[in-house]
Amino acid sequence: MTLSKLSLRNAGRQARDYLVYAVTVVMAAALLYSFNGLVFSQEVRQLSEKMNTLPLVIVLASMVVVCIFGWLVSYATGFMLSRRSRELGTYILIGLTNKQVARLFFLENLAVGSAALVLGLALGGLLYQVLRAILFAMFGLSYHFALNFSLPAMGLTLFYFALIYLCALGRSRKRIHKMKIYDLIYLERQNEGVVIQTGKLRRRIFAVSIVLGVAGTAMLMAGSLLIGITGAGCLIFALFGFFLSFASGVPAFFEKRPARKYQGQNVLIFRTLTAKLATMGIVMAVISMIFTATLLTEGSGLVMSGIFRGRSVESACFDLYFGIEGENQDPGPYMDYITEHIPVEQSVLYQVYLSDQPQVRDYVSSRTVYYCYNYDQDPILCWSDYAALRSIAGYPAVEPEPGRYLFHCMTYLEVPLRDYDQPITLGDTTLTPGSVYTEHLSQSLGVTNGRGYILVVPDEAAEGLAVHHLAYAAKTLQPVPAEGYDALTDIAYREYNKQENPLGYGFVSTKANEAAQVAVQTALLAFPMFYLALALAMTAATILTIQQLSETERYRSQFTLLRKLGVARQEMARALGRQFAIYYAMPAVPSVLIAAPFIFHLARIPEPGVMVGMNSPGIIVIISLGIFFLIYALYILLAYVSLRRNVLSQ
Amino acid sequence: MLQVQNIEKYYGNKNNVTRALDRVSFDVEAGEFLAIMGASGSGKTTLLNCISTIDTVSAGKILLDGVSIADLSQEELAKFRRERLGFVFQDFNLLDTLTVEENIGLALSLNHTDPKAVQDRVRDVAQKLGIIDILGKFPYQISGGQKQRAACARAMVAGQSLLLADEPTGALDSKASKNLLEIMSAMNQDMGATILMVTHDAYSASYAGRVLFLKDGRVFNELLRGERGRSVFYHEILDVLAALGGDVSDVI
Ligand SMILES: Nc1ncnc2c1ncn2[C@@H]1O[C@H](COP(=O)(O)OP(=O)(O)O)[C@@H](O)[C@H]1O
Ligand SMILES: [Mg+2]
């Protein structure tokens, strides 16, 4: 038996005993590799010119991820060191030098790390395909599965892993070198003392943490960087104060209430929780902090991608659209280009009119949050143009309603507009309210079909009304290529500069360009956020699970004893389940309380009409929590299954 | 071979000092089987830990073959433990991941002894201690008595000159205890091992050639077996214990 052989064997045992950790390290490698794949992919960069910054963004995100995983590995190896002190002491006892023991431990972790890296690379190859498929779908391209491994990506992953492991193992090496054999053999871990002793101080700290927590959450939402950072500081204090005072308060609570203590399995749960109070309090606080960070990052990612999508769907309803306002509304240059370069199936060139007064706008502003700039009167469309637009956008035809005016609006204005019962008068025609339609019709920006809403009136009623702008919408035979979009925006820019007092803008949008823009923004901003969130969540859940599973021995002897005392298996399973539920719920609760209002607030910041439907603030909060708890549940399940098998079997 | 000179050991801080050893001195000759007896808390483990280099003394000197162990460097200490000392603890210090054979041979093989030679020596010792059949098993698959014999084998496989045992029979039933003690006597008499055994049990101590009594960290008495039979010696030990204080029941 040589040192390396022994290390290898210990590595095998480590992978078994700390399975959850090993799985996380594999996942870490997979995650790093798959994102590195994006860094080096030629194909991905060719998706759009703007994707050129993607490598930089991903490398920056990866650095943070490396720090996160580095901390995890460092924590886990440190944890193993203290867990296995007796074993290490025995090595020294029989004559190994500290140096040899350090080498043993180093080799063991190196073996686990390398195995994880190899597995992770294989898994990462698949994960990269998933990322690729998502990207392709976002850019509206068809995806073909093609498993190919990128050497540079592998090299970079290897480099990151070396960083992670060298730092962590360097630290544990130092620790081993300093270890005294006496401490190793005799420092059997004892129950830890209560950190905050007196009840009065404890209650005070508890109260202060709650206040700080609420204040910190509020400051986080203030929207100023400095106040936000102060808020984050407050939250860190709050979490530590909360968990330390809470953990210290548990024994007092039960000591004062013996009846509660001996009720059902309480005494068991209580003793398990109090056995490691000090570490428990700190671990819980740190985990809770990471969970909060996870939820905030993930929520921000979701809000961002929500904004990108929400802003673009409205403009993406026409294959090709342009609008011109200002003094000289001449579609000539645009039309020349389109006729020459873009095959069109159906199109309409139309005008958006204005009513005499902003009566609907005033009503809407009084009913809901509405940004009203750009139109001083209510915008109006005539029926035949509206029918053409519906047909071009691919919506079902609707019945004309003589003597009435219709609303076409974005969904956030639907309810108030349905309630609107005032007639409007245009010249000498008076029209009563008719139906309300809410399909996307390019209504979110200025030189489009109204802002949020537009009135549709019979053609004859629109005659003689003031014109706000000229617009064009078309259904094309093929998606408009990027050059087409660029050429048209160039024209808009030239036309703008031709005006004597440039005020009116030309606005161009194409379905293809909108999709590409969303894809680019999502890839550059939301992707890295999810990447970070995933790394954070995995790290925190792993640490919790390592802590929990290290108690297996204690549980096992406890339950064996209980069985001898005649406690039913079912009863024990229930106690275990409850203990588990409390343990895993504790750090998650404060995080949810902090993050949910923040995400909700964040999702309400964009202009109205963007965060609606699946992007509405409430739903974003639910999705954020949902994704987070899905990952969390996976770890809980893994831990529970393993603990149940070890503790309740036989 | 071993000289303990006026050693003292304190635990705790300035306000609350526990004097675990108080000017303890004695010599151990090569080939001797010495038992150290005392009530729980009398300082036995502390004494053994100081000798075995697990712990350090607060004052005094421990010489092994004339060399003060306090003067040894880290490297020399490791070599010293490896080549000179063997340990048997109350709660078996075997490594769970290794088979009995590997446990016994680990220190040897990690120090680059030729694998074939390691195996031969392990088998040789195991043969003498009657554990040859369980060499392939893991610690959790064998009994407490077998574990202790494996620990004994490990303690002498490298030709260590001093075997240190702290309550080796503490976790064993009386039959296994007797078996282990007989093996230790045989190691002492037939193989020439020097044994220093700490125990609170008069029966175990009666296997030794000399018994040192500790009380509150001091050497209280010494008893030599000489040519007497074991059972006579046993009763003499009990008499000393009775004189030592009213806590005989605690000691036995
Ligand atoms: N690490 C320690 N810190 C403080 N006191 C200790 C420590 N180890 C032992 N002691 C004290 O030293 C005395 C001798 O202990 P020990 O040598 O373990 O006794 P024995 O092995 O004879 O039962 C006891 O009073 C014990 O409480
Ligand atoms: Mg003792």
Domain map (residue ranges) of chain B: 2-251
**Do A186 and A321 share a domain, yes or no?**
no
Would you call B109 and A1 a contact, using CB atoms and an 8 Å cutoff? yes
| Rounded Cα gap, residues A216 and A230, in angstroms | 7
Site to probe by mutation for ligand 1, drawn from B9, B15, B17, B18 as the one with most ligand atoms within 8 Å of Cβ, is B18
- CA–CA distance from A424 to each of A355, A410, A430 (Å)? 9, 20, 6
Chain centroid offset of residue A517 CA: 19
Confidence band (pLDDT; 50, 70, 90) for B249?
very low
Lowest model confidence (mean pLDDT) among A198-207, A334-343, A579-588, B25-34? A198-207
Contacts of A641 (CB under 8 A, 6+ apart): none
For residue range A626-646, list pLDDT tens digits in order.
999 999 998 888 888 888 877
In a domain, A574, yes or no: no
| Rounded Cα gap, residues B1 and B51, in angstroms | 12
Would you call B107 and A95 a contact, using CB atoms and an 8 Å cutoff? yes
* pLDDT above 90 as % of chain A: 32
* pLDDT above 70 as % of chain A: 94
The overall average pLDDT reported for chain B is 87
Residue B40 CA to ligand 2 centre (angstroms): 7
The overall average pLDDT reported for chain A is 86
In a domain, A496, yes or no: yes
Q: Is the pLDDT of residue A410 over 60?
A: yes
Question: How do beta strands B17-28 and B2-12 pair?
Answer: antiparallel
pLDDT, average across residues A400-427: 89
Residue nearest to atom 27 of ligand 1 (CA): B41
Confidence band (pLDDT; 50, 70, 90) for B4?
very high
For residue range A122-142, list pLDDT tens digits in order.
999 999 999 999 888 888 778
Lowest model confidence (mean pLDDT) among A78-82, A154-158, A627-631, B107-111? B107-111
**Do A7 and A147 share a domain, yes or no?**
yes
pLDDT value, residue A261: 65
pLDDT value, residue A193: 52
Angle between helices B74-84 and A98-138 (to 10 degrees): 110
Q: Which atom of ligand 1 is nearest to the CA of B49?
A: 17
Contacts of A464 (CB under 8 A, 6+ apart): A427
What is the extent of the structural domain holding A4? 1-190
| Rounded Cα gap, residues A638 and A216, in angstroms | 34
Determine contact: B55 vs chain A, CB below 8 A: yes
B81 vs A9, A93, A182: nearest CB: A93
Using a CB-CB cut-off of 8 Å, the residues of chain B touching A4 are none
In a domain, A648, yes or no: no
In a domain, A234, yes or no: no
pLDDT value, residue A295: 93
pLDDT, average across residues B89-114: 82
pLDDT value, residue A50: 82
Residue B26's H or E segment, with its range, is strand B17-28
- Give counts: helices (H), strands (E), chain A: 24, 9
Highest mean pLDDT among A225-229, B134-138, B241-245: B134-138
Chain centroid offset of residue A116 CA: 26
Q: How many domains does chain A have?
A: 2
Q: Is the pLDDT of residue B52 over 60?
A: yes
In a domain, A567, yes or no: no
| DSSP assignment string, A78-131 | HHHHHHTHHHHHHHHHTT--HHHHHHHHHHHHHHHHHHHHHHHHHHHHHHHHHH
pLDDT, average across residues A171-193: 74
Tell me the longest C-alpha to C-alpha distance in chain B: 56
| Rounded Cα gap, residues A530 and A552, in angstroms | 33
In a domain, A205, yes or no: no
Nearest residue of chain B to residue A7 (CA atoms): B97
Confidence band (pLDDT; 50, 70, 90) for A502?
low
Lowest model confidence (mean pLDDT) among A254-258, A334-338, A596-600, A619-623? A254-258
Determine contact: A177 vs chain B, CB below 8 A: no
For CA atoms B241, B34, B103, A4, give the dihedral sign: positive
Would you call B53 and A2 a contact, using CB atoms and an 8 Å cutoff? no
Residues near ligand 2 ion, CB 5 Å cutoff: B 45
| Rounded Cα gap, residues B139 and B110, in angstroms | 20
Chain centroid offset of residue A304 CA: 9
Touching A: B residues 182-241, CB under 8 Å:
none
Residue A228 burial (C-beta neighbours within 10 Å; 0-12, 13-18, 19+): middle
pLDDT value, residue A473: 93
Q: Which of A153, A168, A190 is the last residue of a domain?
A: A190
Protein residues whose CB sits closer than 6 Å to any atom of ligand 1? B 11-12, 18, 20, 38, 40-46
Highest mean pLDDT among A269-278, A392-401, B83-92: A392-401
**Which tokens hold the place of A123?**
């898994």
pLDDT value, residue B7: 93
| DSSP helix/strand/coil, A403 | coil
Q: Please give the interface size between A and B, counted as residue pairs whose CB atoms are below 8 Å apart.
A: 61
For residue range A281-323, list pLDDT tens digits in order.
888 888 999 999 999 999 999 998 898 888 888 888 899 999 8
For residue range A371-391, list pLDDT tens digits in order.
777 788 899 999 999 999 999
Contacts 24+ apart (CB under 8 A), B66-74: B74/A97, B74/A98
pLDDT value, residue A188: 55
| Rounded Cα gap, residues A313 and A610, in angstroms | 9
- CA–CA distance from B128 to each of A558, A571, B137, B183, B192 (Å)? 39, 50, 18, 9, 13
| Rounded Cα gap, residues A588 and A291, in angstroms | 7
Q: Rounded to 5 degrees, what angle do the CA atoms B130, B136, B138 make?
A: 100
Question: How do beta strands B210-215 and B33-38 pair?
Answer: parallel
Q: Rounded to 5 degrees, what angle do the CA atoms B34, A182, B104 make?
A: 65
Do the beta carbons of residue A548 and residue A638 sit within 8 Å? no
Distance from CA of A85 to the nearest CA of B (A): 12
Q: Which of A173, A190, A207 is the last residue of a domain?
A: A190
CATH class of B2-251: alpha beta
Residue nearest to atom 13 of ligand 1 (CA): B20
**What values do phi and psi take at B115, rounded to 5?**
-50, -40
* B86: alpha, beta or left? (left if phi > 0; alpha if psi -120 to 50): beta
Do the beta carbons of residue A280 and residue A195 sit within 8 Å? no
Determine contact: B95 vs chain A, CB below 8 A: yes
Residue A232's H or E segment, with its range, is helix A225-256
Query: Higher confidence at residue B14 or residue B165?
Result: B165
pLDDT value, residue B81: 86
Q: Which atom of ligand 1 is nearest to the CA of B167?
A: 21
- CA–CA distance from A208 to each of A211, A278, A321, A375, B158 (Å)? 5, 19, 57, 50, 63
| Rounded Cα gap, residues A616 and A404, in angstroms | 32
Q: Is the pLDDT of residue A276 over 70?
A: no
Would you call A95 and B81 a contact, using CB atoms and an 8 Å cutoff? yes
ipTM for this prediction: 0.86
Which of A630, A363, A323, A365 minimizes the C-alpha distance to A506? Answer: A323
| Rounded Cα gap, residues A203 and A207, in angstroms | 6
Confidence band (pLDDT; 50, 70, 90) for A187?
low
Q: What is the pTM of this model?
A: 0.83
Using a CB-CB cut-off of 8 Å, the residues of chain A touching B93 are 86, 90, 93
In A355-390, which ranges are E strands? 379-382
In a domain, A484, yes or no: yes
| DSSP helix/strand/coil, A607 | coil
Q: Which of A130, A160, A190 is the last residue of a domain?
A: A190
Query: Higher confidence at residue A526 or residue A247?
Result: A526
pLDDT value, residue B250: 46
pLDDT value, residue A272: 66
Do the beta carbons of residue B32 and residue B3 sit within 8 Å? no
